Amino acid sequence: MKRKELKQKLWKYAGVGLLMSLGNISGIAQNTSMPKDSAAMYYEVEDIPLPDGLIAETGSIGFLPDGRFVAGFHRGEIMIYNPKTRIWKRFAEGLHDPLGLLVVSNNEILVMQRPELTRIKDTDGDGEADLYQKVTDDFGLSGNYHEFAFGPVKDKQGNLFFALNLASNGAGIRPEIRGTYDSLSRPGRMYACVDYRGWIMRLDKQGKLHPYAVGFRSPNGLGFDAQGRLLVSDNQGDWLGTSKLFHVEEGKFYGHPAGLIWKKDFPRVVPISLPVAQLDSMRTKEIVQFPHGYFANSPTQPVLDNTNGKFGQFGGQMLIGDMDHKYMIRLLLEEVNGKMQGACTPLNVGSKMRIGNNRLAFAPDGALWVGQNDHGWVGARGIQRIKWKGEKHLDLMAMNLTKDGFDLTFSMPLDAESAQNVANFKFKRFYYEYHQAYGSKQFDVKEIGVKSISLSDDKTKVHVVLDDMKAGYVYEMRLGEIINANKTKRVFNSLVCYSLNQLK
């Protein structure tokens, strides 16, 4: 595609995102007395210039220790960009859909491509890789296009984790496969007829691959939070009423039955034929649900803001991208009864942001680089850099469950009148059903009244008491015209969805 055409296309996609997010960010009518305040005042979004001839379906990104940016693209290129000279150079080529990478050193990276995890290294110092070494290919490939592979991420002990997608009955399998075939997991929309499809895998330091956790459909995003917990996103579809984020621990089952057939000692049954109630009792629930359509369609890679304030006020929190929305998603997580759960909220960064936000990485200077992709679905192409301009905006910093409602912590003291106005805190709740069908509508949608509101002495905390608290629901909160104490800022990220698994 020519540059001009690509630009037009990207522009068009940007337009899509704008129209789609209007409903989210401006659901409340503008009051003339409200301060003029918008995301673009706090963040700068810049398009990274791309080399001619690059189809920028970005599958993987990262930073080398020397500060150069590295990215893998759909047509198999691994390119390195020097932000100082603004020059792109080829590092490697010929890979099969590199959808994840992990930087080892200035001349070595690990790349997750369809058939294997590969060590790619420049051994002679000419700037281009000459060694493509298999790290592991100890998993099946049926040849179905939907068997994407994502990752790897590394824990503090040196284990690598990556994810193996299920196949889709949008297509069949190839006459020749790699791995072990099992016909019991061939039926169904998404299937796992070869080994460890639907699993998160762990590669130990000795190079041995272990199945780690099962029950995933299309887990296009792995990351560790500040406490070293492995978080994995998954996409709405069969067995996923809406898109979800899981806290993944060894040996657990997370909901999509197809991959269960590869669990040691699992009975010889078609996993999707098991009663839903039985599967439901076996599964570990997600920690966050992303309401489908108006909030997120396909969440991508979770990343930890470890910039120590260089990216703004959300240090230590997790961000995640989405393919259909032109914002980052910010996660407000907490532990309740020893289990993680929490909320998601948009982090708008201005209208220059495109959709298709597939891969996220923080640069050494604290800017967030985003690699965009469409891959035949909704999305965009290209690479953008988001810089924080240095001023804090008014936003929710934490949402903590209480016995009778929520404690909301804001980023600065609030104007008491707007913060104590019940009309500015609209709650409703609903749930998505766990079932085989593709997606779920919202069940038992009910507005939940606010009984009382109290503001802390320092005016940063609002305690909201609700009419009813019930586990198993998403509590959706829409914030109204809340302004800060100085009356200079307003809340513009107004939608917050808390997945209430555990009551306090």
Partner 1 sequence: MNPKLKQAFCQFKNVLSGMILLASVPTMSEAQALSDTTITIKVLGGLQFDTPRLVLKPNTRVTLILDNHDDMAHNFVLAKPSSRLKVVEEAAKLAERGAKMNYVPSSPLVIASTKIVEPGNMETISFVLDKAGQYPYVCTYPGHGYVMFGVIYVGQSYIPPFEKDTNIPESQRAGTGNEHAHHGHGMPSSPHPYPIEFPMVYRTFMPEASPAAIAVALTPTESYCWDAGKCYLRYIWTGGFVDNADQWKGNGSKLTKVEGEIYWREKQFPFTIGTKKMVSKVDFKGYKLKKRLPTFEYTFDGIKVAETLEWNESAQTITRVFMLGERTQTIFFNLPEQKSVSYTAKNGQLKNGVMAIPKTVKTFSIIIKRN
Tell whether residue 437 is a contact of partner 1 (CB under 8 A). yes
Tell whether residue 286 is a contact of partner 1 (CB under 8 A). no
Tell whether residue 11 is a contact of partner 1 (CB under 8 A). no
How many helices and strands, by DSSP H and E, does the chain display?
3, 34
Shortest Å distance, C-beta 13 to partner 1: 8
Tell whether residue 146 is a contact of partner 1 (CB under 8 A). yes
Cβ-based neighbour number of residue 156 at 10 Å: 7
Tell whether residue 228 is a contact of partner 1 (CB under 8 A). no
| Residue linked to tokens 């020749």 | 176
Tell whether residue 434 is a contact of partner 1 (CB under 8 A). no
Applying CB under 8 A, among 29, 32, 52, 85 the residue interacting with partner 1 is 52
Tell whether residue 435 is a contact of partner 1 (CB under 8 A). no
Shortest Å distance, C-beta 378 to partner 1: 4
Applying CB under 8 A, among 10, 78, 95, 340 the residue interacting with partner 1 is 95
For the chain, give the number of residues: 504
Phi, psi of 427 (to 5 degrees): -115, 145
Site track 342-381 with partner 1 (rule: CB under 8 A), x = hit = ---------------------------------xxxx---
Burial readout 98-133 (b: 16 or more C-beta within 10 A, e: otherwise): bbbbbbeeebbbbbbbbebbbbbbbeeeeeebeebe
> Considering only residues 197-226, where is the footprint of partner 1 by CB under 8 A?
none
Shortest Å distance, C-beta 35 to partner 1: 25
| Residue linked to tokens 């003029």 | 36
Tell whether residue 79 is a contact of partner 1 (CB under 8 A). yes
The answer to whether the CB of 267 falls within 8 A of the CB of 182 is: no
> Considering only residues 315-344, where is the footprint of partner 1 by CB under 8 A?
323-324
Q: How many residues bind partner 1 (CB under 8 A)?
A: 79
Closest C-alpha to 501, from 348, 337, 384 = 337
Burial readout 367-393 (b: 16 or more C-beta within 10 A, e: otherwise): bbbbbbbbbeebbbbbbbbbbbeeeeb
Applying CB under 8 A, among 35, 55, 278, 454 the residue interacting with partner 1 is 55
Which residue, 357 or 418, is less far from partner 1 as judged by CB?
Answer: 357
Applying CB under 8 A, among 293, 309, 350, 366 the residue interacting with partner 1 is 293
The answer to whether the CB of 482 falls within 8 A of the CB of 490 is: yes
What whole-number distance in Å separates Cα of residue 466 and Cα of residue 417? 19
Applying CB under 8 A, among 243, 289, 297, 341 the residue interacting with partner 1 is 297
* Among 37-45, 86-94, 261-269, 344-352, the segment contacting partner 1 (CB under 8 A): 86-94
Shortest Å distance, C-beta 234 to partner 1: 15
Shortest Å distance, C-beta 295 to partner 1: 8
Site track 230-259 with partner 1 (rule: CB under 8 A), x = hit = -------x----------------------
Query: DSSP of 61-110, one letter per residue?
Result: EEE-TTS-EEEEETTS-EEEEETTTTEEEEEE---S---EEEEEETTEEE
What whole-number distance in Å separates Cα of residue 476 and Cα of residue 495? 7
Shortest Å distance, C-beta 421 to partner 1: 23
Tell whether residue 134 is a contact of partner 1 (CB under 8 A). yes
Residue 53: which residues within 8 A CB-CB, separation 6 or more?
none
Closest C-alpha to 136, from 153, 155, 113 = 113
> Considering only residues 440-499, where is the footprint of partner 1 by CB under 8 A?
441-442, 445, 476
Applying CB under 8 A, among 7, 119, 229, 385 the residue interacting with partner 1 is 119
* Among 45-53, 262-270, 307-315, 361-369, the segment contacting partner 1 (CB under 8 A): 45-53
Which helix (H) or strand (E) segment holds residue 232: the answer is: strand 230-234
Shortest Å distance, C-beta 248 to partner 1: 24
Tell whether residue 504 is a contact of partner 1 (CB under 8 A). no
Closest C-alpha to 351, from 2, 82, 1, 24 = 24
Shortest Å distance, C-beta 415 to partner 1: 28
Closest C-alpha to 437, from 271, 241, 275, 259 = 241
Tell whether residue 424 is a contact of partner 1 (CB under 8 A). no
> Considering only residues 166-195, where is the footprint of partner 1 by CB under 8 A?
168-171, 174, 176-178, 189-190
Tell whether residue 49 is a contact of partner 1 (CB under 8 A). no
Shortest Å distance, C-beta 463 to partner 1: 26
487 conformational bin, left if phi > 0, alpha if psi -120 to 50, beta if neither = left
